[in-house]
Amino acid sequence: MGKRKGVMARQAPKDFAKVKQKVGKKKKAPTNETNVDFRAKQVNILAQTALHEKGEEVTHRKLGLVELLAHMQHHSARVRRDALVGLKELCSAHDGVVAKNLARIVEATTAMAIDLHAEVRTAFRSFQTWLLQTTFQTALMAFASMLALQVRSALSHVNSEVRGDGLALLELYLSRMDGPGNVSGKASCLLSEAEALKVADSLCQMTSHTELVLSCLQRLMQVRGVDGSGERTGGDATTAATVDSASVSLDESMADPWEQGECNSSGPNVHQFLSDAAPTLYSAFAVPQVSLQSILDGHIRGACGSTTAEAALQDDSAIWSFCLRTWMQAGELPEGLVDLSNRATSGAIASHGWTKLRCVLVLEQALLRAAHGGADRKNAHGVMLTPSAAQVATVVNMVRRKEWPLRVDGAGTFRALADSVNLRMARVCLLLALGNAAVDTSQYHARILLVAALSFLEEIGPTLRENRPTASGVASSSSAGSMGSDLRVLAGTARAASALHSLDLLWSCRARNSGTDRGTLSSTLLSSEELRRLVSVTALLAADSKGELSDPSKDTLGTMSIPLTASLLGLRPSTARGSAFRAISAAWPDALAAAGEPSFLEDIELQRPGTATAWVSSWSKMLWYLGASNPQLTAFLLSLLLELGRQAANPGSLYEQLFLKAFPLLMPFLVGQRAGGGMETLPPPLALLPSGTTGAQGLTAMLLQHLPKLNESFVASLTRLVCRWSDVGTAGDGTSDSKLAPARLGPECCELILEAVLQGKQSGCGKLLTLRLRAALAVLATTSHARPLSAARVLRAQQTALQLADRIAGWLMSDFTLAAAGLSAAKLGYDDQRCLAVQTLAWPLCKQLCMAGHQFAPRSLCVLFFCAARLPDSSSIRPAGSLEWGMFLGDVFVTLVARKGGGSALLCNCQPTDDERGMAEAVAVSPICDASRAGGLSWKALLGNKDLCVSEISGRLARLFVAAWMRSVPVGEWPAAYELLIKLCLRELRSTRDHEPAVTAGRCPSVPVLTEAIMFRNEHALQTNEWGNLRSEVAACLSSDPVLLVCTAQMLREELRGRCAVEREAVDVPVQRRSDWQALEAVVQLL
């Protein structure tokens, strides 16, 4: 053992052993020597980017974008700050840097928002301020989610300084990207709705920077509703830069909390009222008796009808807690005058009022956002928007302690600021009373808030009506700068709109009270006494009760209240909202629209008789005073009166009484008034408004369809209106270079007015039928008030005359007129009754028109054609009736064709006048003058779809005459009617036989009639082998020429051929006459 131990000891290495060197041997290397025996070779690098020139896009320190972005991650705060400063310098000097590298810049810099060093955060905020002022603001919206993430991180940071800078950064983003200061001019959205609510909830946890927190909350809680076009819109109109902007209005699609399924109606209702007619506020509600078992079973029922235990235990809203706490911490406004010479002192005094205004703005917008939220409207994205029952009780205690309304003297310096706070707080109270609160809110508290709001409106109503200027405008403008340019007091139309919105909410309480949802929060809030007070304050704001303004259009408050009063009367103004202009839209009753626009006409008349009549009468007067200054408002008023006329169709209703009282006041607007000194009639306001069926003129014409009663004066006034201001009467008005007269009624409007006169609600028997026939004759005999200024004016006038003539013909042939004339009582068939109407109504009117002047003969022919076109179809087989049509047709021929009848209706002059040429063109281009309407030949088919020449107008009028001639008799009598027409024309030709053709002046109207009659016979294959055997009553027309009466078709054909040959050989005859005879010669073989 010992030996072994010694061997191992000798073999073990020793520490720090010295190496022995031997003589003559190479020195051994030390044990710690490094081996340096290696080889090195040179590496050739072709290019090094870092060693090259950096180009022109560098800072003054020669740093490019890559170096600056890399320095953002440097450990030194000074380097990071200098990098942000350099980046701002680089981007300012070179616009292309931002345009090409915006994503890289945003990604590298957003983390600076939560940097621990204040100098870095300040530099970052300065860079973001510059970036938002550039044209790249719209492109920056693509990174909104990234920016919002950094803002939320800063607001929730553990460092209080970082949270403060995060608040300042949020205010920067909201003011530049969501407000009027954005470069693009459009409201953008940095935060989504969920992110905005979460940020708002975080802001409410802050205890410092109260004013800045309120400013951010105000912007975050803005309601982005839906406008009339269906697109998303944003922003609160009351916080715009203009003073006249109105407050945020409820959306039309606002959901009813009792219709969304939130509140379950099952379970016992423990709220039983001891007395429904309690005289005082406090005795109107009973204290519910609730047991512990009811609470455990979930049967406790809140004011909104919910039966869930969770609903009864709603937590306090952080937003409401912050705003109510800030409100109570703010001081009071001085009631009297304050010296404004010291800006610092005045601003500090006014800051209390501005703080309360911001608080109430946030509360109002939170309730509006809750109302827009749908089924989960009160707890949106985990953030409670509506107050709990305890918080509602806090508001009630503020009312009890008289902390609201704010009391300031009428001449006080801060009166406008106090009124702004009070008006907005009144709306908040009413929104709470309507159910925008916790379901366990006491009805007693809701009633207190509603009555307090009503009392304040009664108090401020006289001030709004008088519209007295206050001295607070100076104070408001001087102190607004300290609170931010986004906050303005309610002044002018904005203050009136806010009051009207509160009235809208009050009336919506009444709407639910009268509905089927009994027992809900707002169903028992308004007693009969409050209803009387509500009607009184509404009447005060809606109309000038003192009569100080003779012109209702100058009453701004009354004009703004028109939608509200119309909705209260049940006239559904929302159907005409598109035509309302901005001032009316600012005070639109959206709450009543959401409730279905119920009618309160009976309540208003019961509580305050004559109020509804005063409202409607002011609309009629306003139309006259408005004139053509505001077509949109005029169209809106006419839409309301039109709806009133529709509802007045129920006899004996209140609407009928209102319409009867309001309609006579429309006469100045309709017909105008005559100027003094024998001057011509001034144009009525109606003639100055835009034409068309959808414009003011069309609405007026449709309103006239609801005329309750016609009298001679009214019919005469409307007839003069159409005759003077239609395109026929105004052809000579204005200047020659204008296509239309400055004041005129459109053709559609004239037709509808004429229809209202001729075919109104009243039956047209007796004296009224005679009055209407005179009106029709006056319209048909209308001529231009002055000499027409151009050919285009003449054409338009004649086209309008033909349209009115066609409308009159439709009235003459209607069942309405047949019954009025007693023709329907005759023992005749349906077809014979209408043929009798042509002979006894239409034709006498045409004869009277021809007697008025030879220039009306073509128009008379067109009227006869229009009436004949409305006779039963000639292609159907009709019995030959017992009507004597021979003498009737003979009279028609003598009046319209024969020269001795006072002038031909076929315009056969070789040199037509301007009116005749205009009539020719009107007949040529008007589709209503197509002969095929009465079974004749189509003119376009004959001409091969070529343009009609004016010289061929006689042929077209002759075709209308032949079509009306043949349509006036049964189809079985067509051969006899054709024979009578041919022989009458031939008798007319024989009367000119003694004259030489070369010296005969003008053209013979019978020639084109013969041509068209032969063509009609050939088209319908009429038989001529029995000519000479006409019945006695038909032959009586030819009693003066017995030889012609017995002539056959062959004899007349030969006679016409000889006459055509003579006319062909004649010389020095007008070209038009030669064309007429050539056309007859071409078809005479078919006679």
Most confident of 249-253, 269-273, 708-712, 775-779: 775-779
383 DSSP 8-state letter: E
| Dist CA 262 CA 283 (whole Å) | 29
Please tell me the pTM assigned to this model: 0.78
232 DSSP 8-state letter: B
> Tens digit of pLDDT for each residue in 100-125?
888 999 999 988 999 999 999 999 99
Q: What is the mean pLDDT of the chain?
A: 77
**How far is CA 586 from each of CA 74, 362, 564, 573, rounded to the nearest angstrom?**
55, 20, 11, 14
| Res 998: pLDDT | 40
Q: Compute the average pLDDT of residues 133-151.
A: 80
Residue type, 321: S
Residue type, 514: S
Q: Compute the average pLDDT of residues 185-208.
A: 74
Which position has the higher pLDDT, 444 or 1038? 444
Q: 């003129």: which residue's tokens?
A: 697
Dihedral angle, C-alpha 899, 902, 907, 913, nearest 10 °:
130
Ramachandran quadrant class, 712 (left: phi over 0; alpha: psi -120 to 50; beta: rest): alpha
> Tens digit of pLDDT for each residue in 11-43?
666 677 777 778 888 887 777 778 777 778 888
| Dist CA 833 CA 818 (whole Å) | 8
> Tens digit of pLDDT for each residue in 850-893?
888 888 888 999 999 999 998 887 554 444 445 677 888 888 88
Q: Give 801's pLDDT tier (boundaries 50, 70, 90).
A: very high
Given a contact cutoff of 8 angstroms between Cβ atoms, the answer to whether 660 and 708 are in contact is yes
| Dist CA 85 CA 56 (whole Å) | 18
Q: Which two tokens stand for residue 508?
A: 């919506």
Within 10 Å of residue 232's Cβ, how many Cβ atoms?
Answer: 10
Given a contact cutoff of 8 angstroms between Cβ atoms, the answer to whether 248 and 236 are in contact is yes
Q: Compute the average pLDDT of residues 134-145.
A: 78
| Dist CA 617 CA 604 (whole Å) | 16
Per residue, the 3-state secondary structure of 145-165, as one string, reads HHHHHHHHHHHCCCCHHHHHH
Lowest pLDDT segment from 66-70, 153-157, 274-278: 274-278
Q: Which residues pair with 168 in a beta bridge?
A: none
| Dist CA 96 CA 1080 (whole Å) | 85
| Res 867: pLDDT | 92
Ramachandran quadrant class, 479 (left: phi over 0; alpha: psi -120 to 50; beta: rest): alpha
| Dist CA 235 CA 179 (whole Å) | 8
pLDDT of 901 above 60: no
| Res 550: pLDDT | 66
**How far is CA 804 from each of CA 777, 811, 854, rounded to the nearest angstrom?**
11, 11, 19
Most confident of 13-17, 260-264, 374-378, 744-748: 744-748
| Dist CA 897 CA 980 (whole Å) | 14
| Res 392: pLDDT | 93
Q: Compute the average pLDDT of residues 721-730.
A: 89
Q: Which two tokens stand for residue 856?
A: 């009306």
What are residue 374's phi and psi, to 5 degrees? Answer: 85, -145
CA–CA–CA angle 885, 887, 890 (5° rounding): 105
| Res 346: pLDDT | 75
Q: Which residues pair with 384 in a beta bridge?
A: 379
Lowest pLDDT segment from 228-237, 663-672, 767-776: 228-237
| Res 315: pLDDT | 83
> Tens digit of pLDDT for each residue in 607-622?
999 999 999 999 999 9
> Tens digit of pLDDT for each residue in 312-327?
457 889 999 999 999 9
CB neighbour list of residue 593: distance below 8 Å, 6 or more residues apart = 252, 567, 574
Within 10 Å of residue 965's Cβ, how many Cβ atoms?
Answer: 29
Instruction: State the burial class of residue 727 (Cβ atoms within 10 Å of its Cβ: 0-12, 13-18, 19+).
Output: buried
**How far is CA 158 from each of CA 116, 164, 241, 378, rounded to the nearest angstrom?**
10, 11, 37, 30
Which position has the higher pLDDT, 509 or 253? 509
Stated as kind and residue range, the H or E segment containing 500 is helix 493-513
> Tens digit of pLDDT for each residue in 1019-1056?
888 888 878 777 766 777 777 777 788 888 888 888 88
| Dist CA 162 CA 375 (whole Å) | 37
Which position has the higher pLDDT, 313 or 596? 596
Within 10 Å of residue 346's Cβ, how many Cβ atoms?
Answer: 20
| Res 946: pLDDT | 46
**How far is CA 741 from each of CA 432, 690, 784, 792, 863, rounded to the nearest angstrom?**
57, 12, 12, 12, 26
Q: Helix, strand, coil % (nearest 5) of the chain?
A: 60, 0, 40
| Res 273: pLDDT | 26
Stated as kind and residue range, the H or E segment containing 210 is helix 210-220
Most confident of 98-107, 268-277, 462-471: 98-107
CB neighbour list of residue 816: distance below 8 Å, 6 or more residues apart = 759, 763, 764
Instruction: Kindly write down the DSSP assignment for every residue of 672-702, as one continuous string.
Output: --BPSTTPPBPPPGGGGS--STTSHHHHHHH
Q: Is the peptide bond before 552 cis (omega within 30 degrees of 0)?
A: no
Which position has the higher pLDDT, 45 or 261? 45
| Res 393: pLDDT | 93
| Dist CA 432 CA 257 (whole Å) | 12
Ramachandran quadrant class, 784 (left: phi over 0; alpha: psi -120 to 50; beta: rest): beta
Q: Which two tokens stand for residue 644?
A: 């009133």
Q: Which two tokens stand for residue 787?
A: 């000499």
Q: 């290495």: which residue's tokens?
A: 13
> Tens digit of pLDDT for each residue in 674-700?
655 444 568 899 999 988 888 899 999
* Percent of the chain with pLDDT strictly greater than 90: 25
Given a contact cutoff of 8 angstroms between Cβ atoms, the answer to whether 270 and 294 are in contact is yes
Query: What's the sign of the alpha-carbon dihedral 875, 881, 884, 886?
Result: positive
| Res 48: pLDDT | 57
282 DSSP 8-state letter: G
Range list of H helices, 50-159: 65-71, 77-93, 95-109, 118-132, 137-140, 144-155
Helix pair 443-466, 389-400: axis angle to 10 deg: 50
Q: Which two tokens stand for residue 715?
A: 């019919």
Most confident of 130-144, 368-382, 631-645: 631-645
pLDDT of 522 above 60: no
Helix pair 493-513, 415-433: axis angle to 10 deg: 20
| Res 754: pLDDT | 92
Lowest pLDDT segment from 214-223, 475-484, 559-568, 798-807: 475-484
Q: Which two tokens stand for residue 163?
A: 């949270």
| Res 919: pLDDT | 82
Stated as kind and residue range, the H or E segment containing 17 is none
Residue 524, CB-side half-sphere exposure with 13 Å CA sphere: 22
Given a contact cutoff of 8 angstroms between Cβ atoms, the answer to whether 202 and 208 are in contact is no
Count of residues for the chain?
Answer: 1087
Range list of H helices, 597-738: 601-607, 611-626, 631-647, 654-662, 667-671, 696-704, 712-725
> Tens digit of pLDDT for each residue in 418-431?
999 999 999 999 99
| Res 972: pLDDT | 81
Q: Give 328's pLDDT tier (boundaries 50, 70, 90).
A: very high
Instruction: State the burial class of residue 598 (Cβ atoms within 10 Å of its Cβ: 0-12, 13-18, 19+).
Output: middle
Given a contact cutoff of 8 angstroms between Cβ atoms, the answer to whether 804 and 780 are in contact is yes
| Dist CA 754 CA 805 (whole Å) | 10
| Res 268: pLDDT | 31
Which position has the higher pLDDT, 985 or 762? 985
| Res 397: pLDDT | 94
Which position has the higher pLDDT, 155 or 339? 155
Q: Compute the average pLDDT of residues 842-846.
A: 92
| Dist CA 774 CA 778 (whole Å) | 6
Instruction: Kindly write down the DSSP assignment for every residue of 1034-1086, as one continuous string.
Output: HHGGGTT-HHHHT--HHHHHHHHHHHHHHHHH--S--HHHHHHHHHHHHHGGG
Lowest pLDDT segment from 268-272, 407-411, 565-569: 268-272
Distance of CA 1009 to the CA centre of its chain: 54
Within 10 Å of residue 248's Cβ, how many Cβ atoms?
Answer: 22
